[in-house]
Amino acid sequence: MEKNFLTEGFLKETGIGLGAADIGVADITVFGLAHYNKAVSVAVKMLDPVMDEIANGPTYGYYAHYKAVNELINHITLRLSHLIENIGYKAYPISASQSTGARSEYTSDFSHKSAATLAGLGYIGKNGLLIHKEFGPRVRLGTILTDAPLNCGEPIVRSDCANCTVCVKACPASALKGTIWEQGMPRDAIYDPRYCSEFMSEHFSKIGRGFVCGICAAVCPKGKSFK
């Protein structure tokens, strides 16, 4: 397969065939990474019936679904990374949910949400989550760093949350600050990840060892299946 065969359309079609709900490409030149100037953002949708039942807190079903979706994302990004590499370009998949401490205690090696907003998949809500243009916050994300010459999406730079504060009021940890996001804004301006993590560890330890909550995603009007 020749290098010039790879297009963003082919990559998206392949990824959706593997189970993705949406795929976009972002220009990440601004991050100054040595070998990569593009990021492929992969979104997999969480199932509505599972999300609808966690408005008051996580369930065992949600935790199992959360893990399964992460595994699917990692499978998709691995398969696509092999495809990209076999064509002749570099590809580095970032795990769907893995804090490495590379940038801070609660971050991965590269921000999935930064890749997604720059790829035009959505904006960051007051809950600190990606609000996908079709599915709201009911998606999980994976990322592939690459040097493949793919066409990029139009970045989304502003929030559409307006005056809505449903997630802020619903957060049991009071971790959400109600901030309207703009592109480039630091995560800590939107929510406190330590408050969130400590609350989950203390109150939801029997489900997923206190690593999941999901309330702010479940109540968001942009994603509710019964809206």
The per-residue pLDDT for range 125-136, each reduced to its tens digit, is 999 999 999 999
Confidence band, pLDDT 50/70/90 cuts, at residue 1: very low
Confidence band, pLDDT 50/70/90 cuts, at residue 101: very low
pLDDT digits (tens, 9 = 90+) for 146-202: 999 999 999 999 999 999 999 999 999 999 999 999 998 999 999 999 999 999 999
**DSSP letters along 147-170, please?**
---PPPPPPP-B---TT--HHHHH
Mean pLDDT over residues 97-126, rounded? 76
pLDDT surpasses 70 at 61: yes
What are residue 142's phi and psi, to 5 degrees? -135, 165
- Show contacts of 162-166: CB within 8 Å, 24+ apart: 164/126, 164/221, 165/126, 166/219, 166/220, 166/221
Supply the DSSP symbol for 100: -
Mean pLDDT over residues 204-217, rounded? 91
The amino acid at residue 105 is E
CA-wise closest residue to 137 among 43, 26, 12, 18: 43
Look at residue 106 in the predicted model and tell me its pLDDT.
40
Look at residue 2 in the predicted model and tell me its pLDDT.
52
Supply the DSSP symbol for 212: -
- H/E stretch holding 79 reads helix 60-87
pLDDT surpasses 70 at 99: no
Are 94 and 86 in contact by the 8 Å Cβ rule? The answer is no
pTM: 0.91
Look at residue 227 in the predicted model and tell me its pLDDT.
55
CA-wise closest residue to 131 among 50, 69, 216, 32: 216
Both structure tokens of 124: 């960051």
